Amino acid sequence: MAGFDVSSTVEIDMGALEKLTSSATKALEQTAAALLSEVKNAEVFPFETGNLQNESTFVDDSKAASGQVDLVTDTPYGRRLYYHPEYNFNRKFHANARGKWYEPWLPGGQHEDFAAETFAKLYKKENNL
């Protein structure tokens, strides 16, 4: 068997690569906002005055460029309510009010694919695919 030489040249389109990266960051930020809207619309947040859901819970996208976004609730009582699903939640304003309100969107929950599917749709839209 005779030996042979193979060579190849790879050129990377840095502009296209930067656009894909930028699109991923935008899609990630939009996915977090969509998830927060989805959770609010599901009426699973404990709700009395609306402060917990509307003013104290937000998307922190300060690390989006490195692939991380967070849904943050910045009140001490938010943590207490979230981690104590045994509380008797007032359901006058939100029929589905509960503790651990993000569980349906986490792995194993009925909406576990929401974030991945939403990201894929938004990423495709950002890149006109």
Q: Which of 20, 44, 30, 37 is nearest to 118 (CA)?
A: 30
Question: How confident is the model over 78-101, as pLDDT tens digits?
Answer: 999 999 989 999 999 999 999 999
Domain total in the chain = 1
Q: What is the pTM of this model?
A: 0.87
Q: Which domain holds residue 26?
A: 16-126
Q: What pLDDT, on a 0 to 100 scale, did the predictor assign at position 3?
A: 79
**Structural domain contains residue 36:** yes
**Structural domain contains residue 37:** yes
**Structural domain contains residue 57:** yes
87, 99 contact by CB (below 8 A): yes
**Structural domain contains residue 88:** yes
**Structural domain contains residue 77:** yes
Q: Which of 28, 112, 102 is nearest to 65 (CA)?
A: 28
**Structural domain contains residue 8:** no
Question: How confident is the model over 9-59, as pLDDT tens digits?
Answer: 999 999 999 999 999 999 999 999 999 999 999 999 999 999 999 999 999
Q: What pLDDT, on a 0 to 100 scale, did the predictor assign at position 128?
A: 87
Q: Which of 120, 95, 118, 92 is nearest to 105 (CA)?
A: 118
